Structure 1
Amino acid sequence: MDFIGYRSDALGAAVDLVNAVTAAKDEPQASDALRTILVEHGFLARRAPASVEPALRAWARRLRTVFDAKDVREAAIAVNALLADVRVEPHLSDHDGEPWHLHYAPPEADVVDRLRSTTAFALAMLVSEYGIDRHGCCAAEGCNRVFADTSRNAARRYCSSACANRAAVAAHRARAKEKAKQS
């Protein structure tokens, strides 16, 4: 599902940024993990300088507020706060041999500002179209990662299939244990 018609995966970038910053303490995190996300989601063809890491980390913490929202009003307030802090200036661009496509930041914006405006706009589209039904925090016990559901059935509640599988196994074992107690 394409939420904003942009050539990068802005919604995926928002999720990956938040998860990179809020990863569990026992998960190893590469020193350039946030800059790698820029490349992986189509914001850059090559790595950004290390100097962008603090800005990306701060923005990821801001994005988290949308995923943590308990209701649509709280999510809208969080999105509006993001949008108030970015410069959104939509325009068509055909840079680097790409076909014409929409950019949300002004042409002179650096990569961090482009990421900020695009991810804020992606979350605004997500919340305006689906409320809080398609994003949130992972339902797995002890996981603090986030997800955005782009599936057709909108049934996702876990950040990954690994968390979904662990939760299913734990639920199965709990049911089996309860059944054994009753026998």
Structure 2
Amino acid sequence: MDFIGYKSDALGAAVALVNAVTAEPDGDADTPPEQSGRRLRDLLVEHRYLAARAPASAEPALRAWARRLRTVFDATSSSEGACSALDVTAVAVNALLADVQIGPHLSDHDGQGWHFHYAPPEASLVERVRSTTAFAVAMLVSEYGVDRHGVCAAEGCRRVYADTSRNAARRYCSPACANRAAVAAHRARAKLKAGAGEP
């Protein structure tokens, strides 16, 4: 997905944040807060945010935002009465957009050349992450509906994915989960054939 010159991978950051914070319940329960906060900052740096010097105090807000972002991925399998999964997803996206500080402008900070920012110049790291990731999932849903994102289809996996590939066939968070699911399906078919007495 091309964000018209925006320097960070906002959609990748949204997926990575959701998975780091919500895919493993109590996964960070024994992790010291400073190490947990550093992990989130490193994750953002990997997605080209200038986050290395972000204060540790940003961690709780980033975690809360990751849980909010998850609502968009979870909504793909939701339907409430007459509402379609797309309707539920749109409501989730609009709730995110309503809560972000928007201030579009061009910036040339840190020698990166002029590029687009969604948050105002004085925005904190958390505000920048919130605005860019909210826009990223909004653009994904507006272009592709609910066909390009969701929760991994592998049994027992809670990780999420966003598919920006050409063929839009992704249903798993990783090749490892896709392979495990394929092996499990193959074994189930073999067992069914054996039970039916097929050669």
User: How many angstroms does 1:89 deviate by?
Assistant: 1.1
Partner of 2:113: 99
Cα distance between partner residues in 1 of 2:159 and 2:9: 18
Of the structure 1 ranges 15-24 and 3-12, higher mean CA displacement relative to structure 2 is found in: 3-12
Q: Distance in 2 between matches of 1:93 and 1:67?
A: 31
Corresponding residue number in structure 2 for 1:63: 69
1:15 is aligned to: 15
Question: Who is 1:150 aligned against?
Answer: 164
2: CA distance, partners of 1:25 / 1:59: 16
Identity of aligned residues (%): 77
Q: Which has the larger radius of gyration?
A: 2
Residue 39 of structure 1 aligns with which residue?
45
Give the match's secondary structure for 1:35. helix
Letter paired with 2:23: A
Q: Which moved more, 1:71-80 or 1:38-47?
A: 38-47
After superposition, the C-alpha distances for 1:9-34 in whole angstroms (9 at most, x for unaligned) are: 00000000000012335967762322
Instruction: Return the letter of the residue paired with 1:119.
Output: T
1:136 is paired with a residue of what secondary structure? Answer: strand
User: Which position in structure 2 is the counterpart of 1:177?
Assistant: 191
Consecutive unaligned residues in structure 2, runs of 5 or more: 79-84
1:154-173 matches, cutoff 5 A? 154-173=168-187
CA contact 1:82–1:120 (8 Å) conserved in 2? yes
- Where 1:68 maps in the other structure, the secondary structure is helix
The TM-score, its normalising length taken from structure 1, stands at 0.94
> Structure 1, unaligned stretches of length 5 or more?
none
Structure 2 partner of 1:122? 136
**1:180 CA drift (Å):** 0.8
